[in-house]
Amino acid sequence: MPYFFPRTALLLGLGLSIAALTPALAQTKTPKYSNEFLNVGVGGRALGMGKVQVSLADDATAGYWNPAGLVNQKTKYDGVLMHSELFSGIVKNDYAGFSMKLDDQSALGASIIRLGVDDIANTQNLINEYGYIDYNNIRYFSVADYAVLLSYARQIGSIEGLQVGANAKIIYRNIGDFADAWGFGIDAGVQYRRNGWQLGLMARDITTTYNAWTIHPESFEGPSAALGTLPKNSTEITLPLFIFGGSRLVKLPGEFTALAALDMELSTDGQRNTLVSSKAVNLDPRAGLELGYKNLVYLRGGVGNAQQVQSFTGSETWKVQPSLGLGVALSGLRLDMALTRLAVEKLGQRSQPTSIIVSLGYGIK
């Protein structure tokens, strides 16, 4: 019995791991939510406003949200660092971005993103050659997704207030020593500012993004041979995603300001649970509001990710994901904090736990 239980648990765990790998690594069609780690979002300001940024982004984070916005940054150099922990700290999400203006009409940017789970126990060799448990044989590995975005933006001289931008992105995805993938894709963005209005369009994976997966069968050791056929090398395709956005800044009495924004996300990778859902295209709206005082202190809020959820009684209700944020800007230094996935009492149940995101930005004139 002491031997049978660990061996059964080990086989079950490895079986579930390979079952999870198979759909992602052996796709013959374009899967939904491919490279979804790139849709989590970056920056405390953006996440505090419900990820409404396609028409607003004007600092180093614009390389992620809409590269066209790099032209509008207020300083010659700008950098942003962010760290967040999701699902009660299990998933780590880190981001670093840097941008610089080449002149009054063009700018460059670079962004690095990592989202991963670390210190996962590999128990393939938990049972030694004598049939006993040997905890010294446990090894640990990480499952992580990386992306590097290289951005360029330029103002269109013939049309006042119009700028365009593009990203070339390199993707690396790693599942310990078991499998990894390399990918490449291109994003394109547009921003237009006129009479106090700001409009934006972001097209992610506009050329489709290809991830080439490589499986390392020599990494599956011990009892994994009893699990059957391992996944094979394959190519995963990410279809285009489009985001339309608009915003307007209003000056209020007493040196207060109000910035209202709305984004519409259109996905094309199959039917999703969104406000408007179909097999051809899905529409997911998001709204955000930012109240400012003297360009020093900001209070933010947002709502998005509308989904239809089925309760225990069988009835279906609509549920949205709210967010809150707070920001302070002083002498080029920006500190932004966001609370997302706010816990809300509903039908006697609580939603997912709150995640705290903190980002630090600095602009050099």
- Which of 99, 87, 119 has the alpha carbon at shortest distance from 43? 99
In angstroms, what is the C-alpha Rg of the chain? 23
What is the C-alpha separation between 227 and 18, in angstroms, rounded? 8
Residue 127 parent element (H or E): none
More confident residue, 278 or 327: 327
Task: Give the pLDDT of residue 231.
Answer: 75
End-to-end CA distance of the chain: 69
pLDDT, tens only, 311-325: 777 788 888 889 999
- Single-letter code of the amino acid located at 50: G
Q: What pTM was computed for the model?
A: 0.83
Residue 348 in tokens: 């006697």
Task: Give the pLDDT of residue 157.
Answer: 80
Banded model confidence at residue 226, pLDDT cuts 50, 70, 90: low
The CATH number of residue 98's host domain is 2.40.160.40
Domains in the chain, number: 1
Contact 73, 105 (CB under 8 A): no
Other Cβ atoms less than 10 A from the Cβ of 278: the count is 11
Residue 165 has pLDDT above 70, yes or no: yes
What is the C-alpha separation between 154 and 103, in angstroms, rounded? 10
pLDDT, tens only, 256-311: 999 999 999 999 888 888 888 888 889 999 999 999 999 999 999 999 888 888 77
Task: Give the pLDDT of residue 15.
Answer: 40
Contact 337, 325 (CB under 8 A): yes
> How much is the average pLDDT of 12-17?
38
> How much is the average pLDDT of 16-30?
43
Task: Give the pLDDT of residue 13.
Answer: 39
Residue 48 has pLDDT above 70, yes or no: yes
Average pLDDT, the chain: 84
Task: Give the pLDDT of residue 240.
Answer: 92
More confident residue, 340 or 333: 333
Residues 6+ apart with CB under 8 A from 173: 144, 145, 146, 180, 181, 183, 211, 213
> Tokens 């119009």 sit at which residue?
162
> How much is the average pLDDT of 112-136?
85
> Tokens 């406003």 sit at which residue?
49
Task: Give the pLDDT of residue 289.
Answer: 96
Q: Domain span at residue 240?
A: 4-364
Residues 6+ apart with CB under 8 A from 251: 257
Residue 254 has pLDDT above 50, yes or no: yes
Residue 362 has pLDDT above 90, yes or no: yes
Task: Give the pLDDT of residue 9.
Answer: 34
